[in-house]
Amino acid sequence: MHVNRGRADSWRLALIVALLPAGLLAKDQPLAGEVRSNRLDALDYVYVPPGVFEMGCVAGDGECQEDEKPSRRVKMTKDYWIGRTEVTMEAFRRFVAETEYRTMAESDGWSRFFDGRSLEKKEGVDWKTSGHAQDPEHPVVHVSWYDAWTYCAWAGGRLPTEAEWEYAARGGRDSTKYVWGDTTEPLVGGVKQANVADESLGSRYPNMRIISGYDDGHAHASPAETFPPNGFGLHDMAGNVSEWCSDSYDAKYYALSINRDPGGPPFGLERVIRGGSFVDHASNLRVSYRVRDMPVYHDGLLGFRCVRDAAP
């Protein structure tokens, strides 16, 4: 049985705050893509209305894995607010300052660090010291699923379901392979769209597979809002750092899942991770691409964003 390694007081505070009324301002009916600040973590959240979308492998995508199939029409009946950006260093530092929470990487004394070839255990690496340059606006990394869950509860919300994440990531574009469209290169009208495995990464790590000819200017993670938002106004839904979802993982879940507000399998040891990171080539940046790991896992390529249920 896993025991959370944060302080007991942090868990109690997170639970109490999760039961408080939502901290998003105003009670009038918001519009799709509307942005409001959350007073608890001082991050912006974007309103996502109910709707229907095609979840999973899109037609004509020959790179789909079996766990991305079959695609199906999913009806999202509940509106919600989702973080406009991945949770930043500044926001996570505020959370730690208020709760004295201790992450799993800190308790372990190590985390998985990207060394240009693979993710290897490295002592002394955690959310405060990632091993790469970090400003307050950079996404926080080296956080486990448990760490992310606790932060989101403190912020008055939760981690997104996999369906909520994909619906938001598509931003109203129902049938494209990538957040930015169908082209392998994340470039639209000459504007760079994402922080991915690019020429900057290849210059730093010559053995990496990159999208040749594309240079986003970042060998590692980039600050929030560096690249344009998607149709819902969300940044970095592809690339930069991967993101935890709330769902347990089941390779056959898509074949068995309900088509109305799916919340993930009822059981499962692993948790779903979405979105790809700055080391990922195009095949791993497709909107339907899924990976997973144990909820205790943490590395320097993995962060998260939170969801808050809209007021009834």
pLDDT digits (tens, 9 = 90+) for 211-264: 999 999 999 999 999 999 999 999 999 999 999 999 999 999 999 899 999 999
Closest CA to 90 of 56, 31, 137: 137
pLDDT (0 to 100) of residue 22: 42
**Low pLDDT (below 50) residues in the chain:** 1-26
pLDDT (0 to 100) of residue 131: 85
pLDDT (0 to 100) of residue 285: 98
Fold classification of 8-309 is: paralog of FGE (formylglycine-generating enzyme) (3.90.1580)
pLDDT (0 to 100) of residue 27: 54
pLDDT (0 to 100) of residue 20: 39
Residue 218, by phi and psi: left (phi above 0), alpha (psi -120 to 50) or beta?
beta
**So where are the chain's domains?**
8-309
Using CA atoms, how far residue 191 sits from 150, 210, 215, 284, 307, in Å, is: 36, 18, 11, 21, 28
pLDDT (0 to 100) of residue 18: 38
